[in-house]
């Protein structure tokens, strides 16, 4: 268990040390965030804040994950998926910030990258690692063999999680804090299933995100950008797939799910009726425009993340006797 503390502590320390070194570089390179015109007016003051800070998280995650995990196949696969999505996010950020193309990567270009990540994750986990194509249904103690449809599920889990975390990254410290909470929860889940190496990866992810939060909390000195948000989503999705807890991820990442659903509901409502359900989506902006301060929104959402993770762990405890324990 000491390795878990060491991994989390090392990741946190690396992030703390990397911040003062990397942030001035991003500022000198003029990797500044642009703020969308339709967003809350108070966000205009954030224009020019360095972005692509997700690089800090990735560096802080990599070293302790390799050092304390024994470089197991599962951890290497999780790192591959995480850094693969980080690369997609970096290219998107680079095109938007440096090349000044506001839309970044085209949707189909992102999709190709995510298909590659999903295919690699699904094949290696299901075939090479022998995890099979079963879907564990919590509480019911059922393992449902989805056959080839399992690979479609993996793709949906990856795309859904990465995009949900990306949507959550709209306020200072919101995505970093909620990811820290979710990663710690998944560290506990990995321990329940006897996956110590993956637990090391999870606590290192939590430590890296928490260390990044030192510079990303309000008022943020740096933003993670798509480099960070896509990588964080990929990391959580990869762990969920390798622990066969894809459905449990919906609970652990409850805040991310609500953020994504708020956008879907808003778009459907506006296109079908011409009316908006929320003042603005994702839903964290709705609360901002309702008069909440940014720090209040973030704090409440962090608390919601803690509750979601606690519920997920309770469901796991109640399900373990009849669920997936491999």
Q: Which residues are annotated as a binding site?
A: 166, 226
Q: Are 40 and 288 in contact (CB under 8 A)?
A: yes
d(CA 255, CA 211): 21
Q: Which residues are annotated as a binding site for Mg(2+)?
A: 166, 226
d(CA 64, CA 146): 35
Other CB atoms within a 10 A radius of the CB of residue 116 amount to 12
d(CA 112, CA 178): 28
* 137 DSSP β-pair partners: 142
DSSP 284: H
Q: C-alpha 99: how far from its chain's center?
A: 26
Using CB atoms within 10 Å of the CB of residue 232, give its burial: 0 to 12 exposed, 13 to 18 middle, 19+ buried. Answer: buried
The residue to which tokens 């998944």 are assigned: 186
């Amino acid at each position: 268990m000491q390795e878990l503390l060491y991994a989390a502590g090392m990741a946190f320390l690396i992030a703390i040390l990397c911040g003062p070194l990397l942030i001035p570089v991003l500022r000198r390179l003029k990797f500044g965030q642009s703020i969308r015109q339709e967003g809350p007016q108070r966000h205009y003051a954030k224009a020019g804040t360095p972005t692509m800070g997700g690089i800090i998280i990735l560096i802080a995650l990599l070293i302790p994950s390799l050092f304390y995990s024994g470089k197991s196949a599962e951890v290497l696969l999780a790192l591959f998926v995480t850094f693969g999505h980080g690369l997609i996010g970096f290219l998107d950020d680079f095109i938007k910030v440096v090349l000044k193309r506001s839309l970044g990567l085209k949707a189909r270009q992102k999709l190709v990258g995510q298909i590659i990540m999903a295919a690699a994750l699904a094949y290696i986990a299901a075939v090479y690692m022998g995890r099979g194509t079963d879907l564990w249904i919590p509480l019911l103690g059922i393992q449902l063999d989805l056959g080839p449809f399992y690979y479609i599920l993996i793709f949906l889990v990856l795309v859904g999680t990465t995009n949900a975390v990306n949507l959550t990254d709209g306020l200072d410290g919101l995505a970093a804090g909620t990811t820290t909470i979710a990663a710690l929860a998944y560290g506990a889940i990995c321990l329940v299933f006897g996956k110590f190496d993956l637990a090391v990866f999870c606590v290192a992810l939590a430590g890296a995100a928490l260390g990044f939060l030192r510079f990303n909390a309000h008022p943020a000195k740096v933003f993670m950008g798509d480099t960070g948000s896509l990588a964080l989503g990929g990391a959580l999705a990869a762990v969920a797939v390798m622990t066969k807890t894809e459905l449990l991820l919906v609970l652990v990442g409850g805040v991310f799910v609500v953020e994504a659903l708020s956008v879907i509901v808003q778009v459907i409502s506006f296109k079908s009726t011409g009316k908006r359900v929320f003042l603005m989506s994702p839903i964290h902006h709705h609360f901002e425009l309702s008069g909440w301060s940014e720090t209040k929104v973030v704090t409440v959402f962090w608390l919601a993340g803690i509750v979601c993770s606690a519920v997920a762990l309770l469901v796991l405890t109640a399900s373990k006797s009849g669920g997936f324990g491999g």
